[in-house]
A and B are shown apart, each in its own frame.
Chain A
Amino acid sequence: MSRPTPLRDVHESLGATLTDFAGWLMPLRYGSESAEHNAVRTAAGLFDLSHMGEIFLTGPQAGQALDYALVGHLSALAPGRARYTMIVGEDGGVLDDLIVYRLADERFMVVANASNYLLVARELAARAAGFDAVVDDQSEQWALIAVQGPRAQEILSSLTDADLPGLKYYAGLPGVVAGAQALIARTGYTGEDGFELFIANEDAAPLWQELVKAGEPYGLIPAGLSSRDTLRLEAGMPLYGNELSTALTPFDAGLGRVVKFDKPGDFVGRAALEAVKDDPPRRRLVGLVAHGRRVPRHGYPVTKDGAVVGEVTSGAPSQTLGKPIAMAYVDTGVTEGVAVDIRGSQEGMDLVALPFYKRSAHS
């Protein structure tokens, strides 16, 4: 039985197609997922992300505890700023990718994927045991609504006095939005400018309605997980379970930059990651653009001259490119002439650098 978010009734009244995702009943799409995708690229989309986990660390040694628990240097993060990071096992395998917000000198919020937050909360509690810090998993008390797209700031500014123009990418500040106390973060998973609003469960439905009302004149529409997936794929952003897994280190995923060996002290996974950090990776994460119209999908083999040289991790038709695209791990050294085995038929692909889509710098 999937758990509903505080917005379930709203989604049902909008006629959403609901789906189970990581144990949660989530909106897959409201109408056409292509229209939802395009709205986020050209105007704005509204997402329910209440399935994400929010785990708080509070105390004089909260920063040091995170330095030990995660691969990043979180104690160096300035209050009000956020960082993309990862939690790995002793063997260096990725347990989850995370965004960590420093809310105050002695208070951090770790945002984990829905599929992993129970494990992350458990690991953080265990790893923080020797530090003067309290770990509190508040995932069930928080809703998360994202406004994403080039019109997001205009829409949100009509509902809050918070200094949105002054809020940098990967930063967050507390504020009141349409009467609701929120953590307003300039983060997202779409490749567009946008905001994520962390709010109490009971504020979610009224805030959603206010955002719809304020956003409609700008072209905002509710958008489901299907468009969220194609948006992040175009933006070349990894999804845990597809591009990231316990079988891969951050280096395998081409994300070794998140591992901060020069931070003070030991951290879980350091020895294993030190040992592999200079190894040439066997495969690397690349983009594929299909010559034809059939879609390469998760798990399909990448081939060259009939031999398997890689595997697709995510694939979908791209609205922005007008062609099917995919991310795939492909053997180092293979740079062209590849195909994807789509149910027995070898479909030609161009091998390209990620991302597929990058928004033009906003003024």
Chain B
Amino acid sequence: MSSIPDELSYTKEHEWVAGLDDGRTVTVGITAFAAEALGDVVFVQLPEAGSTVEAGDSIGEVESTKSVSEIYAPVGGEVTEVNQAVVDDPSLVNNDPYGEGWMFRVRLEGDPEDLLTAEEYGALTSGDS
């Protein structure tokens, strides 16, 4: 069973969102479940810092040996920072998906919708596996 930290929010596209409680800038990455399903990640393409995204937009991609998946914006707003370390070393996504494998930060515009709790995401992924 992949780890699903309680304090994070999640999307159906297997992304996590951190920092909703702290203010207006959130951090986004993909879940351990997604990283395990992908296998060894070899390439990460992220949105550009300064770009504006809408929730649900396809804004990047994650490639592994066997497959490629899109990264969707889980929330709308301005991308304030991207994690260059994960671009340079995509294995961070596998080794530390909730830590050093974070992908980008977004300054929220409006309130995020349709995010899942850890419990809801856990139910979703146990149905998938």
Contacts and interface: CB of A to CB of B under 8 A. Distances in A.
Given A32-B94, A230-B65, A316-B65, A293 B39 contact: no
Interface in A277-315: 293-295, 297
A317 B36 contact: no
Nearest to B66: A226
A324 B65 CA distance: 9
B94 A294 contact: no
A34 B94 CA distance: 12
A295 B40 contact: no
A243 B22 CA distance: 53
Contacts of A226: 39, 65-66
Q: What is the interface of chain A mostly: helix, strand, loop, or mixed?
A: mixed
B126 to A, nearest CB: 16
B63 interface: yes
Interface residues of A, number: 17
Interface in B25-41: 36, 39-40
Contacts of B43: 293-295, 317
B85 interface: no
Of B36, B43, B61, B66, the most chain A CB neighbours within 10 A belong to: B66
A349 to B, nearest CB: 15
Contacts of B39: 17, 28-29, 32-33, 226
B84 to A, nearest CB: 14
B55 interface: no
Q: Which 10 residue pairs of A and B lie closest in terms of their CB atoms, listed nearest first? A: A317-B42, A293-B43, A34-B40, A33-B65, A295-B63, A33-B39, A32-B40, A33-B40, A226-B66, A316-B65
24 contacts: A17-B36, A28-B39, A28-B66, A32-B39, A32-B40, A32-B94, A33-B39, A33-B65, A34-B40, A34-B65, A226-B39, A226-B66, A293-B42, A294-B43, A294-B45, A294-B63, A295-B42, A295-B43, A295-B63, A295-B68, A297-B68, A317-B42, A317-B43, A343-B61
